[in-house]
């Protein structure tokens, strides 16, 4: 779960990490009120969206005085911010963070994350602040300083000193740097973060250290112990919000084949199979490895509410869950809804024959694919394939037994 910069800074402040004075605003008037509260300028007005590169898209502006804050805020709030990370569709900006701006002497990069290979938290720092971490890794790997943290010991003082000396900070900044770093590690562990990133960390002309930007991802698995943070959850679109209500794993994609699969790996493999057939999936939907008929019905409703979907593919490997029970779930869901698009069903596993028979006997119009190969062939012949078919042989197409109208 991604937090906005202003939310991350709330956590920072709670743990004693210095952040610039500022507050979030949802309207130009509110932004003006924040400027009044902060007193004198200059100010900085920052769009609050879940994407980096905001400056490049015009989402971060300097404002000399209160009037300029109101003016900039009115331009940013409501804009569709396009950055290198949002994709071409951009993100609608609902709020801005208004902060006092500082004269900056030096910028640094600092981040805490989990290293999957060593299974430990790792702190990364660099004197090349302001650059994206990927750039630093690629172009200046020698400037990247890392320390792995033993979860039993926590962040040790020698590790903080090691960063401080390697970053070549002025001696007078020693104590404020260590309190900032230990505060960030505290945020990381206390709030179950998968990422805490400060880019840039700055030293101002008057020798103060601030976390100028803040990016925090909270581990979704740990939400049960952070009920307060959960209230900050924002979904990227209403489809994903609805899916979350039904506890379905749903991700909206840009194709025309709506798909419903049980199990995440199988769902990814099905997306890949649709792509191999020359078409594109409209969504990723995993109804769970042990999905029941109700989950299937909810998933089906979700897919059909998407007007871009021109064909629905249901791919279920029934293991513990029997195929006949699943077939009943699908039939019930379909009979309740008005279905205008072809439905391709592939059932495999326990009681497959019985499930297939139930589908065939229903008065609903299903196309049954017997295996993954046939799924690919059916999609390739559905009229939705708009690209060259990769890896599907002519013979396979000729042998095809079921082709939807």
Partner 1 sequence: MSILIDENTRVVVQGLTGKEGSFHARQCMVYGTRIVAGVTPGKKGQEVDGVTVYNTVREACRAHAINTSLIFVPASFAADAIVEAADAGLKVVVCITEGIPVLDMVRVLRYLDGKDCHLIGPNCPGLISPGKCKVGIMPGPIHRPGPIGVVSRSGTLTYEVVDQLTKAGLGQSTCVGIGGDPLIGSTFVDILKLFAADDDTGAVVMIGEIGGTAEEEAARYIKESFPKPVISYIAGRTAPPGKRMGHAGAIISGGQGTAAQKMETLRQHGIHVVENIGEIGMEALNAIR
- Nearby residues of 163 by Cβ (< 8 Å), 6 or more positions away: 123, 125, 145, 147, 177, 181
Which of residues 105 and 115 has its CB atom nearest to partner 1 in the complex? 115
Query: According to DSSP H, which parts of 148-292 are helical?
Result: 157-166, 174-190, 227-230, 238-245, 264-276
Q: Of 404, 331, 405, 401, whose CA–CA distance to 361 is shortest? A: 331
Q: Is 197 a residue of the active site?
A: yes
Q: What angle do CA 251, 257, 261 make, to 5 degrees?
A: 60
Say whether residue 281 binds partner 1 (CB under 8 A): yes
CB under 8 Å to 278, separation ≥6 — which residues? Answer: 379, 380, 385, 386, 387, 388, 389, 390
Q: Kindly tell me which residue out of 10, 68, 253, 368 binds partner 1, with binding defined by CB under 8 A.
A: 253
- 290 scored as a contact of partner 1 (CB under 8 A): yes
- The answer to whether 200 touches 182, Cβ cutoff 8 Å, is no
Single out the residue of 319, 328, 383, 400 in contact with partner 1 (rule: CB under 8 A). Answer: 319
CB of 365 to partner 1, least distance (A): 24
The reply on whether position 263 binds partner 1 by CB under 8 A is yes
**Per-residue contact track with partner 1, 354 to 383, x per CB under 8 A?**
-----------------xxxxxx-------
Q: Between residues 27 and 194, which has the closer beta carbon with respect to partner 1?
A: 194
Burial of 22 (C-beta count, 10 Å sphere; 0-12/13-18/19+): buried
Q: Cβ of residue 340: shortest distance to partner 1, in angstroms? A: 26
Under the binding rule (CB under 8 A), the answer on residue 286 touching partner 1 is: yes
Residue whose CB is less far from partner 1, 361 or 401:
401
Q: Residue from 6, 108, 284, 300 that binds partner 1 (CB under 8 A)? A: 284
Question: How far, rounded to the nearest angstrom, does the alpha carbon of residue 210 sit from its chain's CA centroid?
Answer: 27
Stretch that binds partner 1, among 75-83, 92-100, 187-195, 203-211 (CB under 8 A): 187-195
Q: By CB under 8 A, what part of segment 212-241 binds partner 1?
A: 219-222, 224-225
Contacts of 367 (CB under 8 A, 6+ apart): 342, 343, 344, 345, 378, 402, 403, 404
Residue 121 found at the interface with partner 1 (CB under 8 A) = yes
When the beta carbons of 113 and 176 are compared against partner 1, the nearer one is 113
Q: What whole-number distance in Å separates Cα of residue 299 and Cα of residue 154?
A: 43
User: Quick one: which of 92, 156, 230, 264 contacts partner 1 (CB under 8 A)?
Assistant: 264
DSSP assignment string, 76-115: HTT-EE--TTT-TT-EE---EEEEE---EEEEEEEEEEEE
CB of 393: closest distance to partner 1 in angstroms?
A: 10
Residue 390 binds to partner 1 (criterion: CB under 8 A): yes
In the list 23, 192, 242, 306, the residue contacting partner 1 (rule: CB under 8 A) is 192
Query: Is-contact 143 126, C-beta < 8 A?
Result: yes
Residue 307 annotated in active site: no
Looking only at residues 132 through 171 of this chain, which bind partner 1 when binding is defined by CB under 8 A?
133-134, 150-152
How far apart are alpha carbons 312 and 274 in whole angstroms? Answer: 11
- For position 189 contacting partner 1 by CB under 8 A, the verdict is yes
What residues contact residue 332 under an 8 Å CB cut-off, 6+ apart?
A: 293, 297
Catalytic site residues? Answer: 109, 197
Contact positions vs partner 1 (CB under 8 A): 85, 114, 116-117, 119-121, 133-134, 150-152, 189, 192, 194, 219-222, 224-225, 249, 251, 253, 261-269, 271-276, 280-281, 284, 286, 289-290, 317-320, 348-350, 371-376, 390-391
């Amino acid at each position: 779960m991604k937090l906005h910069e202003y939310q991350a800074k709330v956590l920072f402040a709670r743990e004693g990490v210095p952040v610039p004075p500022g507050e979030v605003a949802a309207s130009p008037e509110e932004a003006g009120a924040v400027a009044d509260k902060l007193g004198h300028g200059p100010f900085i007005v920052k769009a609050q969206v879940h994407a980096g590169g905001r400056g490049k898209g015009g989402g971060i502006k300097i404002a000399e005085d209160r009037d300029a804050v109101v003016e900039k805020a009115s331009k940013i709030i409501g804009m569709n911010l396009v950055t290198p990370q949002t994709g071409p569709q951009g993100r609608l900006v609902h709020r801005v963070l208004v902060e006092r701006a500082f004269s900056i002497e030096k910028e640094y990069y600092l981040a805490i994350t989990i290293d999957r290979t060593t299974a430990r938290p790792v702190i990364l720092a660099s004197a090349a602040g302001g650059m994206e971490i990927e750039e630093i890794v690629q172009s200046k790997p020698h400037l990247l300083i890392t320390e792995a943290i033993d979860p039993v010991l926590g962040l040790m003082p020698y590790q903080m000193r090691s960063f401080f000396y390697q970053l070549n900070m002025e001696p007078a900044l020693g104590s404020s740097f260590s309190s900032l770093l230990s505060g960030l590690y505290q945020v990381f562990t206390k709030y179950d973060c998968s990422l805490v990133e400060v880019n840039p960390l700055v030293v101002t002309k008057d020798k103060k250290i601030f976390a100028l930007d803040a990016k925090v991802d909270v581990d979704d698995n740990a939400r049960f112990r952070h009920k307060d943070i959960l209230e900050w959850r924002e979904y990227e679109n209403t489809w994903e919000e609805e899916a979350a209500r039904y506890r379905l794993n749903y991700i909206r994609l840009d194709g025309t084949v709506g798909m419903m699969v049980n199990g995440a790996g199988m769902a990814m493999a099905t997306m890949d199979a649709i792509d191999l057939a020359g078409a594109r999936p409209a969504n990723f939907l995993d109804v769970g490895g042990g999905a029941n008929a109700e989950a299937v019905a909810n998933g089906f409703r979700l897919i059909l509410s998407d007007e871009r979907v021109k064909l629905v593919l249901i791919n279920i490997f029934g293991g513990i869950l029997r195929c006949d029970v699943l077939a009943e779930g699908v039939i019930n869901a379909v009979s309740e809804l008005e279905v205008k698009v072809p439905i391709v069903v592939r059932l495999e596993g326990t009681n497959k024959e019985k499930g297939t028979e139930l589908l065939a006997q229903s008065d609903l119009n299903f196309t049954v694919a017997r295996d993954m190969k046939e799924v690919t062939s059916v999609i390739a012949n559905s009229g939705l394939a708009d690209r060259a078919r990769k890896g599907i042989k002519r013979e396979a197409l000729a042998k095809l037994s079921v082709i939807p109208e």
